[in-house]
């Protein structure tokens, strides 16, 4: 049994593509990410699309995703439709069920031709227009928060940036873990903590964000840096326990 949905804008060109996704995915070798899940870029209908193949859930999660929660592919699609201005355009999703249980699922979106992620300017002190990018990123995040969007995996690799018209266009990806609610100032500032940003970079981000909020700059800077350091300390403690190298 299959369950699927195609964005009405793409039905003509992508319904059959989606139904044949297992074959289309397996025959394509352009993999750009392979870990728990795999992501490939596939050319279809005169455009590149991104296909995310979600790992087959273990037995307990197959039960959970069949009866109690929506699949990650379905959430990716529905969240993308809900916040379409902030993500690559969603095309559709499909689920394959065996004996009534979820087996495989895929999410398809347009390919956003980004130039870099926020990781590059955060890691490179000499990155071109670094301060301008960080300020633009703070403004983008403010827009997300004002639209009551909280990306709970707001890490560097999930923030894509394209140089465009003398400025920067941002898109977020990997949006399975989201909340949609009015956010307090502290919740907003804590959202920056997963960036693993240096204090001097966090100062630029938090100061710009405070200006957008018309909030106290010193408070925002202090709160953002404190939340960032708290998460760094926690993750480094876990690394030490596992005998791994600690990162500042």
| Domain co-membership, 66 together with 137 | no
Contact between residue 169 and residue 161 where contact means Cβ atoms under 8 Å apart: yes
Domain closes at, from 91, 110, 129: 110
pLDDT score for 247: 66
Residue pair 73/94 in contact by the 8 Å Cβ criterion = yes
How do residues 114-130 score in pLDDT, each as one tens digit? 999 999 999 999 999 99
Residues 173, 66 share a domain: no
Distance between CA 14 and CA 29 in Å, rounded? 20
* Whether residue 103 is found in the same domain as residue 153: no
Shared domain for 121 and 223, answered yes or no, is yes
Residue 131 domain flag: yes
CATH code of the domain covering residue 213:
1.10.510
List 102's β-bridge partners, or say none: 97
What is the tally of structural domains in the chain? 2
**pLDDT computed for residue 1 by the predictor:** 87
Domain region containing 190: 116-241
Whole-number pLDDT of residue 67: 65
User: Do 224 and 121 have their domain in common?
Assistant: yes
Q: Is residue 236 part of a domain?
A: yes
Alpha-carbon gap, residue 78 to 148, rounded angstroms: 16
Tokens of 150: 């909280």
Domain-embedded: residue 84: yes
Q: Would residue 248 count as lying in a domain?
A: no
Query: Residue 120: what pLDDT?
Result: 98
88 and 191 part of one domain: no
Same domain, 59 and 171: no
Same domain, 148 and 86: no
Is 133 among the domain residues?
yes
Per-run averaged pLDDT (10 residues), the chain, 248 residues: 95 96 96 92 97 83 71 95 98 91 93 98 97 98 98 97 96 96 98 97 98 98 97 86 72
**How many CA atoms, within 13 angstroms, populate the side-chain half-sphere of residue 186?**
2
Q: What is the 3-state secondary structure (H, E, C) of the chain?
A: CEEEEECHHHHHHHHHHHHCHHHHHHCCCCEEEECCCEEEEEEECCEEEEEEEECCCCHHHHHHHHHCCCCHHHHHHHHHHHCHHHCCCEEEEEEEEECCEEEEEEEEEECCCCCEECHHHHHCCCCCCHHHHHHHHHHHHHHHHHCCEEECCCCHHHEEEEEECCEEEEEECCCCCEEECCCCHHHHHHCCHHHCCCHHHHHHHHHHHHHHHCCCHHHHHHHHHHHHHHHHHHHHHHHHHCCCCCCC
Question: In angstroms, what CA-CA distances link 18 with 91, 94, 98?
Answer: 9, 7, 18
Instruction: Please tell me whether residues 101 and 170 are part of one structural domain.
Output: no
Q: Residue 84: give its domain's CATH number.
A: 3.30.200
The 10s digit of each residue's pLDDT in 137-165 is 999 999 999 999 999 999 999 999 999 99
Same domain for 215 and 127, yes or no, is: yes
**Of 110, 136, 159, which residue constitutes the final position of a domain?**
110
- State the pLDDT at residue 141: 98
**Does 57 lie in the same domain as 10?**
yes
- Residue 246 resides in a domain: no
Query: How far is the C-alpha of 42 from the C-alpha of 130, rounded, in Å?
Result: 32
Last residue of a domain, one of 93, 110, 127: 110
Q: Do 85 and 123 belong to one domain?
A: no
């Amino acid at each position: 049994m299959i369950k699927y949905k195609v964005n009405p804008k793409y039905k003509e060109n992508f319904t059959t593509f989606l139904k044949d996704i297992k074959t289309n995915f397996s025959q394509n070798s352009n993999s750009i990410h392979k870990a728990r899940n795999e992501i490939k870029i596939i050319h279809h209908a005169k455009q590149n699309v991104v296909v995310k193949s979600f790992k087959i859930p273990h037995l307990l999660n197959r039960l959970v995703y069949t009866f109690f929660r929506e699949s990650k592919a379905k959430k990716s699609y529905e969240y993308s439709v809900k916040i379409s201005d902030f993500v690559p355009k969603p095309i559709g999703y499909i689920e394959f069920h065996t004996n009534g249980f979820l087996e495989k699922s895929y999410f398809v979106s347009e390919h956003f031709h980004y130039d870099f992620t926020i990781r590059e300017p955060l890691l490179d002190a000499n990155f071109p227009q670094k301060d301008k990018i960080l300020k633009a990123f703070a403004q983008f995040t403010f827009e997300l928060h004002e639209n009551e969007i909280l990306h709970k995996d707001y890490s560097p690799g999930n923030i894509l940036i394209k140089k465009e018209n003398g400025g920067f266009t941002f898109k977020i990806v990997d949006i399975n873990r989201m909340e949609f609610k009015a956010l307090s100032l502290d919740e907003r500032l804590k959202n920056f903590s997963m960036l693993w940003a240096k204090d001097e970079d966090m100062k630029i981000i938090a100061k710009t964000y405070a200006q957008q909020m018309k909030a106290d700059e010193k408070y925002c800077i202090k709160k953002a840096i404190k939340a960032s350091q708290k998460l760094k300390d926690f993750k480094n403690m876990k690394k030490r326990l596992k005998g791994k190298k600690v990162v500042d």
